[in-house]
Structure formats: C-alpha cells, structure tokens
Amino acid sequence: MNIPQTPSVAQIGISVELLVQLAQQTPVASASVSRVDSFTQFTQKMLDHFYNFATSFAVSQAQMTPNPSELFIPANVVLKWYENFQRRMTQNPLFWKTQDRKS
C-alpha cells in the first residue's frame, strides 16, 4: 500500500527561566485551573488514541483487498461513536455507570 504523505513543518519554542522570574510573571487573565478530573482526562486521551489508531488503518475503497475472513468498519462509524462518546462525557462524565442498554 502506497499512501502519499504531505510534508509537515512544526516549530516548538522552549524558554528556560529562573524560578524567581517565573514567580514574578502574571498569568493570562483568561487562564483558569483545570476542573477536569483525572478520569475524564484519561477517557478523553483514550478516545483520542483509539480514534487515531483506528483511522491510521484507513484505506480507500479502491485500495481494499477483498478478504472474507476480515471485517471492515467504515471510518465514519468510528467517528460518529467518537463524537457521541465525547458529547456524552461532556454532559455527564459518569453516564457509563448507569448505561445498561445498547447505544
């Protein structure tokens, strides 16, 4: 399989400062302490990693080789699940504890 790749450029800046200087700096007015608990953070990271992992195997229909022993799941189905799960986590981070039906 030959997937064309487009070059990407990223630039990262790092500043090394003395602790005394950092203590004197004023935080951005819009900055706030994260109120997201570690479970929600874990779940978000897990969703992101799963989606990225699953879509890394994406091929076009023309690239697919028929194989009766394999099951293919359309990428848009994975994306729909991902978006629904994110929405539900935003609405109620504990929704999964009360869910006993297929969604």
Rounded distance between C-alpha atoms, residue 69 and residue 59, angstroms: 17
Short-list 15, 9, 6, 90, CA closest to 47: 90
SS3 79: helix
pLDDT per residue, tens digit, the chain (103 aa), is 555 666 666 677 777 888 888 777 777 666 666 566 788 888 888 888 988 898 888 888 888 888 888 888 888 888 898 899 889 888 888 887 776 655 4
